[in-house]
Structures are given as structure tokens and as C-alpha cells.
Structure 1
Amino acid sequence: MIDKKSPLPLYYQVEEHIKQTIQSEELQPGDALPSERELSENFQISRMTVRQAITNLVNQGFLFREKGRGTFVSNQKFEQNLQGLTSFTEDMKARQLVPGTKLLHFEIFPVEKDIQERLSLGEGELIYKIKRLRLANEEPIALETSYLPVKLIPGLTPDILEKSLYSYIEDELQLKIGHATQTVEAALISDEDSKQLQVKKGVPVLLIQRETFLENGTPLELVRSSYRADKYKFKIDIERK
């Protein structure tokens, strides 16, 4: 509970207590949080302190407010470790979630100059442009646009893209995926993409840009993904060298 003699701020102690009840599943996603008055009486602290703790948890994504109704427990964010190269399908299955894909766009066209250089292609060579909506347990999580050389992946079809592209590349084509470089930054979602991800216009998203290479160093794909910031977070373990 709350230790008023502790050097830790009272609002922080309240935050940690509420987090613990969520993480222990005592409070489930969608459950209503007790009112500020109830919490202040329970902890014997001011409502202002309770309000600060709740506001911080709303900002962190643990809770959400509905006007006139109260404060509720949010669905917890999906976490991805940035230290390994995995497909979205592999990542979701590792979390005991059901991966899903909705193909929004599939096109073959001559490569444009900026993509040509990054994929080490000759002028006029063909590439796939693929846009997919990624889902976890039928909930929209990310929008992903990929560019891949047709000569590396001949015969790619929309049916194949409903499943794991990486599995097709490695299991069917016997190509070995080696490594990738990836950047993560904050961005504002476009009006068009907000509809697909079922979020409000202009909300922040996590913009992920990745270049993937085969084991022999051949560029395989360019990917630009917009992940819902309210549903997804990335984790990395860092060692001191």
C-alpha cells in the first residue's frame, strides 16, 4: 500500500499500486477504476495526489478516460524486442496472439530511382509494392508498406501475402534472410491511414523503417510501417561495453 514515510512520492506509489493490480490481472482491460474520492479515502491521501497518479497512468497508456463515465483499464500494449529479426506473424505467435493480415494493395511496377538505389536494382527493373493491415486477435495494430524485387521473389501472389511473407521466402524459395537495419521515430498518422488503424486523425504513431538483406548481402526489401502507439511498444536490452 502507501508508505507516507517513504522517500518515493505519494503519487508514484499510487501509480505503482494501480499498475500492480493491472499486471496481476486483478483489474482487467475495460474494468472501471475506483473514483478519485474512493482512492483518496482508501489511501488516506489528497484527491489531487490521486488525480496526478491517474493522469500519469493515462499518459502511459495503462488507463483511459471517458467523459461522464469514469476511468477504465486499457488493453495492454504488445511488446516487441528489437534485438532479433522476426516477421510480424512470428512476433504475434510468440505472444500467444492470433496474427492476421488484410491485403490493401498489391502492384508490380518499374522501380523508381530512390528505391532503385536502396535495393541495388537496375533502371526499369520490376518491384512489388505491397500494403497490408496487420492485426492481432483481429485488432488493427500496424499498417505496413513493402517494396521487394520481383526477380528475387518470382510468383508472389496476394494469396501468399495473406500469410507470412518471410516463411514463404525461406521455406518455399530457400532464401536465407540475414539481417536488417531499422529506425524508429514518432510521426502523426495521415487521415487515410487513421481509418484503417481505427484511430483519430493526427494521433501519434510509431514509424518503423527497415531495410532487410539476405545472408549474402543482397537487399531484399524496404518496409515502412506505422504502429499504433497506444497498442505497441518496443524493447531493447543494452549492455555496457
Structure 2
Amino acid sequence: MLDRYNYIPLYIQLKNELVEKIKNGIWKVGDKIPTEKELMDEYNVGRATVREALSKLVNEGYLYKKQGIGTFVARTQPSLGFEPLISLTYSLNARGINPKNIPVENIKMAPDKATLKRLKWKSQYDCYYIKRIRYAENIPIAVEESYFSTEYGNIGEKFDLTGSFAKMILKDLNLNIKKVEQVIVPRVPSIKEREILNINEDTLVLDLERWIYIQDKNEPFYYLNFIIPENIYMINL
């Protein structure tokens, strides 16, 4: 059911509801879906809300339209590139949620042995360390620590640290990703994390580590440590 008091826009909530029908097999590939009027009546929303939700689903490849006939299910998974898999900014924007990234630390550093092990670097060389607090609609939702190889210059000076790092890697630097490794572990948040994320001690966080490898390199170019409350991990990171 749609929640009119939720900060997520109604058309995004409706889109998510319709996606679930596709993924759960209620609407199968090739099926004609209900008309706009039928969806308006079923979900008690206006025509603009239905049209916006359907437009999103067409753009993501779930649905296709036949002029004068109707709208049909095209696939059970979205047709997306690499960026949505590694970008919180992309995922929030796709849901109509305004993201904001606040850098709180930006330094060039020589990693110690423990950090080198986390980075999966065999050699000792400097890196750029950037810490940010991630927000959705001005609500803090994640603590992010990023480590970049210095090979492509001073990341902190060359690029906008309030923007999407995934976009920076894929489009601004135009790097070709070879593989992504990721580990997610649930745990109890630290006192500092609870303060930043405004959560209580009963709320678990997910501790995500991600290593991004680019073509022709054997060691990760980018290491990410991402802390997000478990109850909002429905967002595709």
C-alpha cells in the first residue's frame, strides 16, 4: 500500500509496488498491465502519479508500450549499466529522493600495514582518503570512507567531493571497471556512528567493504567502507 505520509514521492512508491508485481510473477513477461484508470482506482492516486510511475518503468526497461493497444511487461530485471550497482546517488535519484554528500575529511596519506591489508595493496604508496556523510532528504543515512590510488592525480582537488564518486570513476575519469568485490557484515554501531546516523543502540548497521578494480591493474584502484543502518538497506547500493 502507498503511504501518503512517507517522504518518498507517491509515484516512486507506486513504481516500486508495480516492480514487485513483475518480480513476483503476478505480471509475467508479455502480459498487458492494467490501464491508467484501473491503476488510479486500485491505488487511489491521480493520473499524473500513474503516468510518472509507468514512465520510470519504461525507461528502466521493465515495460514497453504499444501505441493504441496498451502497456506490456518487457522483463523482470531493469536494463541498467554499471553505475547503479555502485552508486548510492544514482539509486536515490532513481527513487525521487534528493541526495546530499558532505565531505568531512580529505587528506593524502601513507597507509599503515593494517590499512594496506584492507586496501589489498601489496606495495607501500600514498593514497587519497576522503570521508563523507551521506544524506537522503537531509537525513543522515551513511558514513562513507574512500581510499583512492594517487595514479590519477589529486582526487580531492580535481573533482567535486559532494558529487557521485561512481560518476567520477566511470565518466569523468573514464575508467573501465574490470571487477568489483564486496563484503557486507551486520554489526552493532559504535557510539560515534549512532550519533552521526541518529540511530539507537538496538539498530544494527551494515558494514560494507567494496574494492573496485580497473582494466590492466591487479590491485584495487578504489576501496570503500560504507556504514548504513540495516533498516534502510532496501536502497540498492
Into which bin does the TM-score normalised by the smaller protein fall? 0.5 to 0.7
Q: CA deviation at 1:217?
A: 4.3
Question: Does 95-104 or 225-234 show the bigger shift?
Answer: 225-234
Deviations 1:149-173 (A, max 9, x none): 112x312126611101121222222
Change (3 A) 1:173 1:234: closer
Percent of matched pairs sharing the same residue: 21
Structure that is richer in helix per residue: 2
Structure 2 distance, partners of 1:102, 1:150, is 22
Structure 1 distance, partners of 2:102, 2:92, is 15
Q: CA deviation at 1:234?
A: 6.3
1:155 equivalenced with 2:154 (yes/no): yes
Structure 2 distance, partners of 1:184, 1:136, is 21
Aligned to 2:5: 28
- SS at 1:210's partner residue? strand
Aligned to 1:191: 191
- Indicate the RMSD between aligned Cα atoms, in angstroms: 2.7
Aligned to 1:223: 224
Structure 2 distance, partners of 1:29, 1:116, is 42
Change (3 A) 1:209 1:136: same
Structure that is richer in strand per residue: 1
AA at the equivalent of 1:28: Y
Residue pairs, 1:77-96, within 5 angstroms: 85-96=85-96
Deviations 1:133-188 (A, max 9, x none): 1111111111111111112x312126611101121222222212232111122111
- SS at 1:226's partner residue? strand
Deviations 1:100-140 (A, max 9, x none): 101121111112224435443522x1111111111111111
TM-score norm. by structure 1 comes to 0.58
Change (3 A) 1:140 1:202: same
Residue pairs, 1:57-136, within 5 angstroms: 85-117=85-117, 118-120=119-121, 122-123=123-124, 125-136=125-136
- SS at 1:186's partner residue? strand
Structure 1 distance, partners of 2:179, 2:6, is 36
TM-score norm. by structure 2 comes to 0.59
Structure 1 distance, partners of 2:215, 2:153, is 19
- SS at 1:141's partner residue? strand
Structure 1 distance, partners of 2:123, 2:231, is 40
- SS at 2:170's partner residue? helix
Contact 1:108/1:129, CA 8 A, preserved across alignment? yes
Structure 2: runs of 5+ lacking an equivalent: 8-77
Question: Does 226-235 or 171-180 show the bigger shift?
Answer: 226-235
Structure 2 distance, partners of 1:155, 1:162, is 15
Deviations 1:186-238 (A, max 9, x none): 11111112111111246311111111111334412221111112322367xxx
Contact 1:141/1:232, CA 8 A, preserved across alignment? no
Structure 1: runs of 5+ lacking an equivalent: 1-22, 31-80, 236-241
Structure 2 distance, partners of 1:234, 1:172, is 24
Contact 1:188/1:204, CA 8 A, preserved across alignment? yes
After the TM superposition, list the runs of 4 or more consecutive aligned residues in structure 1 that deviate by more than 6 angstroms: none
Contact 2:109/2:127, CA 8 A, preserved across alignment? yes
Structure 1 distance, partners of 2:93, 2:122, is 34
Deviations 1:41-100 (A, max 9, x none): xxxxxxxxxxxxxxxxxxxxxxxxxxxxxxxxxxxxxxxx9x962211111112121111
Aligned to 2:174: 174
